[in-house]
Amino acid sequence: MGLPDFGPSTDLFSHHCEVHSHNAAATAEQNGKWSGIGAAAAALQARMALEDLFQPLTVRSLTTPNRFAMAPMTRQASPGGVPGPEVADYYRRRAAGGVGLIITEGVRLPDPAAGYPSSIPTLAGDDGLAGWRRVVDGVHREGGTIAAQLWHQGAERDDADGVVPVSPSGLDGLGRPKGRALETAELPELAELFARAAVTARDIGFDAVEVHGAHGYLLDEFLWARTNLREDGYGGPIGGRTRFPAQVVAAIRAAVGPDYPIIFRFSQWKGLDYQASIAEHPEQLQELLAPLVDAGVDVLHPSTRRHYAAAFPDHNERVDALADALATDDSPDPLPLLRELIVLGVRATSGSRIRAKRYRLFNEIEALRHRDVLGDLDYERVIVDHLMSRSVDEFHARVLAVSIMGIARSALTTWAHDPSCDPGNAAEAALEQLR
């Protein structure tokens, strides 16, 4: 539950903050109210356990020494496509610093149309492969693991060298004509090009491969309705747009065998459109990605520009759970159940000292605080709608909703600075006074 910051905690909250051991998920289940929220909170708390970050993670043949991973970052530091000693040292230092899994910068496929400029490394040629062996060996000596990101730029390839870019429909990320559309007959060979590059990466010693399907590049152009206008079964509805990326994954899986890990990177945002969206809601995203998993993807790697901004701002399971719980109330007085649910929500949000530290961080960073404030407006809307349905006039319903959320937020702020207290007790006492 994200709640607006109403400033420092009051004596009222300090007075009622007693030491209390509380299992949020169990309580929610016990009371039969907001159980989904309690379970979600418990799951989040489990995932956030600090010690888990330092534990190994195994995916097929890959075992990372910890849960820290370095995402790909384009460097253009390999003249002629050959990663030199400086590149090897760059990645070695990251492994020495404790990164468990390194995903390389985009490595262009051995096809002139796959990428530009030539300073982007490639998986081809004796010198290029020798360079990548130095990279892999250096990372392994430091105890790290490394995956090669396979990259085809599609229509986003610069054509300054005279090579014509190829893409699903000959369109760039703004929908403008650029390059040419791939013929249907060309697609199987292109999928095999990905597969051969994956085998090369495996044979060099890379621990996994990542397929670049994000940011408006070739495979993402197939996924995105704006850049995929094909009418040959590889466009149109989601099933068609996913078909070729899934065939690429299937070709890689067939080539590398059942135990070699495949990662797939995807994104909503694009290099030419930060507001783009390949899916309008979670169910649609699941429909888009499921064929990739069925084809052999082991890890989905979402790329986001703003981690504090929800991908689907209109979809909030906790808000929906609150609305559903309130809808079951047919008692004459709407406040008792509302008060009970808010207290449960506060307790579900609180928990370990790690979560308290996270909560303080969210309050201290403006962008994160902004995200929570926006989320709280959804809770307020649900409360207002509920109260108005029970014949409370709109003005008083809004006053009550803002007051209730302010109490919840203040109770959590107090807890965040003193994790030994039970913010539910504080919220309950304040809500009783509000009543």
Radius of gyration of the chain (CA): 26
Question: b/e map of 100-135 (b: 16 or more CB within 10 Å)?
Answer: bbbbbbbbbbbbebbbbebebbbbbeeebbebbbbb
Q: How many CB atoms lie within 10 A of CB 352?
A: 14
**Residue type for position 3:** L
Coil, helix or strand at residue 264: strand
Out of 217, 234, 260, 379, the active site residue is 217
Alpha helices in 238-334 (DSSP H): 238-256, 282-295, 317-327
CA–CA dist 348, 25 (Å, integer): 7
Catalytic site residue 116?
A: no
Q: Is residue 147 within 8 Å of 210, Cβ to Cβ?
A: yes
Q: Residue 17 and residue 34: Cα distance in Å, rounded?
A: 23
What angle, 0 to 180 degrees and rounded to 10, lies between the N-to-C axes of helices 335-349 and 394-417? 30
Cα distance between the two ends of the chain: 22
Distances (CA, A) of 85 to 18, 74, 121, 212, 259: 59, 17, 13, 25, 30
Helix, strand or coil, per DSSP, at residue 15? helix
Q: Which two tokens stand for residue 408?
A: 């919840």
Q: Name residue 255's amino acid.
A: A
Q: Are 13 and 426 in contact (CB under 8 A)?
A: yes
Nearest to 241 by CA among 181, 201, 287, 205: 287
Q: Scanning the structure block, which residue is given the tokens 């990662």?
A: 263
Amino acid making up residue 348:
A
| Amino acid identity for residue 342 in this structure | I
Under 8 Å between Cβ of 187 and 248:
no
- Token digits for 10? 């009051």
Class of residue 303 by CB neighbours under 10 A (exposed 0-12, middle 13-18, buried 19+): middle
Q: Which residues are catalytic?
A: 217
